[in-house]
Amino acid sequence: MNASRADRLQTAAWAGVALALIGLFWLLSPILTPFVVAAVFAYICDPAVNWLVARRLPRAAAVLLVISGMGLILITLILVLLPMLYREAMTLARRLPDLVELFNHNVSPLLAARLGIEFQLEASQFRDWMSQHWDSAQDVVPILLGHLKTGGLAFMGFLANLFLIPVVMFYLLQEWPRLIKSLQMAVPRPWLERTTKTLGEVDQVLSEFLRGQLSVMLLLAVFYAIGLSIAGLNFALPVGVITGLLVFIPYVGFGGGLLLAVLAALLQGDGMTPLIGVAVVYGLGQLIESFLLTPYLVGERIGLHPLAVIFALMAFGQLFGFVGVLVALPVSAALLVGLRQVSSAWFSSKLYLGEQGSSK
């Protein structure tokens, strides 16, 4: 068997394995959420664990330290963001009639003059509706707690999954070198060199994208939070952090963050100054992200086009739910490497080159 035919057989075999894994993933998707979340976090945190181990810290202690640090960061974010988001929602509910009047006074005349569209909202109806439902809107937390009591079994399941994530993370990070070695031992010896090379390419694409994108997210969250604070926005911290965390979805992070910032600026009622500040901050943020952070920290060579990222997130979310969203980008990166292998096998085949026909 010549080398090219062996390479094609390897490609076909690994494509079959990938399809089988996708089918198994689809069947088990209802129970996979904590394991997939733990695996994604473990992959991201493995370099930090290796860094601590290289400085003579026992691996178990290094794993505990990294997991504890990540948990502390997440808990701090939740405790800071949730109260601020709740206060902003209450402010929006109180000022909604004023925003309607502002729209009727400033935007409606422009629509009528420029586009010939007569459109106005009834502020009085909003005021009546708010006065009728304001008490129930303020009681949203007790209502949610009541639902948790009636849906206690589902809530207990959620808590079990939540506590399972760090446990699975610990075992994955603790056994990571052994898992890699076991996978290498399971590969047939004639396929080992090419398989190792392919997995190395997958790891390179994943590491460049996930870790680079994480750096971009954190830096942009800091930039937007500080920039919006300088611009005088009252809710600069939650809006900035949310914008940074959503950046991993192309266009959605910037658009959603800008919408939240504009809404928060309107709620302040301080005129055009906060709106101008928001426009400047988000304009600079887009330039910094596009021309500085993304090219240097993520890189163009990963090959994941922004439209491909959006399609992958939507497609995997539709097929596998929340778990699909978590694995969309890693699986897409692996599929990208696989497609490169299949493409290489196709363009070197006799069918494509026409060698079989020319030899007749």
Q: What is the DSSP letter of 360?
A: -
Cα angle, residue 41 at apex, residues 176 and 312 outer, rounded to 5°: 115
- Tell me how far apart the alpha carbons of residues 33 and 87 are, in angstroms, rounded to a whole number: 31
Report pLDDT for 226. 93
- Which pLDDT score, from 0 to 100, does residue 205 have? 75
Mean pLDDT of 196-217: 78
**pTM of the predicted structure, to 2 decimals:** 0.64
Q: Residues 6 or more apart from 52 whose CB is under 8 A from it?
A: 61, 62, 65, 66
- Indicate left, alpha or beta for 181 from its phi (over 0: left) and psi (-120 to 50: alpha): alpha
Q: Which pLDDT belongs to residue 301? A: 52
The pLDDT-based confidence of 359 (bands split at 50, 70, 90) is: very low
pLDDT of residue 347: 79
Per-residue pLDDT, averaged over 115-138, amounts to 60
Q: What is the mean pLDDT of residues 9-33?
A: 71
The CA distance from 207 to 43, in Å, is: 9
Is the distance from CB of 329 to CB of 304 less than 8 angstroms?
yes
* Whether the predicted pLDDT of 239 surpasses 80: yes
pLDDT higher at 130 or 268: 268
- Return the pLDDT at 129: 61
- At 89, the amino acid letter reads A
Distances (CA, A) of 20 to 11, 30, 87, 179, 202: 14, 17, 48, 20, 18
Helix ranges (H only) for 3-32 are: 3-28
Q: What is the DSSP letter of 187?
A: S
Q: What is residue 131's predicted lDDT score, i.e. its pLDDT?
A: 61
**CA 123, 124, 127, 129 torsion-angle sign:** negative
pLDDT in tens, 139-160: 545 555 555 555 555 557 667 7
With 90 as the cut, is the pLDDT of residue 63 above it? Answer: yes
* pLDDT the model gives residue 357: 45
Identify whether the C-beta of residue 131 lies closer than 8 Å to the C-beta of residue 97: no
| Residues 280-324: tens digit of each pLDDT | 999 999 888 878 887 777 655 556 666 777 777 788 777 777 667
